[in-house]
Amino acid sequence: MSEAVGEESRRLTREQLFTVVAAASINFSSMMCYSILGPFFPSEAEKKGASNTIVGLIFGCFALFNFLTSLILGNYLSQIGAKFMFVSGMFVSGCVTILFGMLDKVPSGPMFISFCFLVRAMDAISFAAAMTASFSILAKAFPTNIATVLGSLEIFSGLGLVLGPPLGGFLYQSFGYEVPFITLGCIVLALVPVNMCILPRYDSTPTKESFWKLILLPKVLILCFTIFSLSACLGFFDPTISLFILKKFKLPAGYVGLVFLGLALSYSLSSPLLGLLSDKLPYLRKWLLIFGDLITAVCLFMLGPAPVLHIESQLWIFVLVLVLIGFSLGMSAIPVFPEILQCAHENGFEEGLSLLGLVSGLFNAMWSLGAFVGPILGGFLNEKLGFEWAAAIQGGWPLLSGLATGIFYIIETTRKSSSSSLQNPPGDNEERTHLMGNET
Q: What is the DSSP string of 167-194?
A: HHHHHHHHH-SHHHHHHHHHHHHHHHHH
Phi, psi of 369, deg, nearest 5: -60, -45
At residue 422, the pLDDT reads: 63
At residue 424, the pLDDT reads: 61
Q: Give the number of other CB atoms < 10 A from CB of residue 274.
A: 26
At residue 84, the pLDDT reads: 87
State the Cα–Cα distance between residues 141 and 18, nearest whole angstrom: 10
At residue 30, the pLDDT reads: 77
State the Cα–Cα distance between residues 115 and 104, nearest whole angstrom: 10
At residue 4, the pLDDT reads: 40
- Residue type for position 123: D
User: What parts of the chain have a pLDDT lower than 50?
Assistant: 1-11, 431-433, 435-436, 439-440
Do 378 and 236 touch, CB atoms closer than 8 A? yes
- Taking phi over 0 as left and psi of -120 to 50 as alpha, with beta for the rest, 142 belongs to beta
Instruction: Count, in order, helices (H) and strands (E) of the chain.
Output: 19, 0
At residue 425, the pLDDT reads: 57
State the Cα–Cα distance between residues 63 and 227, nearest whole angstrom: 13
At residue 7, the pLDDT reads: 41
The per-residue pLDDT for range 345-399, each reduced to its tens digit, is 888 777 776 777 788 888 888 888 888 888 778 888 888 888 888 889 888 899 9
Quick check: do 13-202 and 207-420 share a fold? yes
At residue 1, the pLDDT reads: 41
CATH number corresponding to 207-420: 1.20.1250.20
Do 49 and 103 touch, CB atoms closer than 8 A? no
Distances (CA, A) of 204 to 89, 353, 357: 20, 6, 10
Domain map of the chain by residue range? 13-202, 207-420
- Residue type for position 72: I
At residue 440, the pLDDT reads: 46
What fold characterizes domain 13-202?
A: Growth Hormone; Chain: A; (1.20.1250)
Which residues, at least 6 apart from 162, have a Cβ–Cβ distance to it below 8 Å?
Answer: 260, 261, 264, 265, 268
State the Cα–Cα distance between residues 440 and 428, nearest whole angstrom: 18
For residue 98, which of 7, 190, 232 has the smallest C-alpha distance? 190
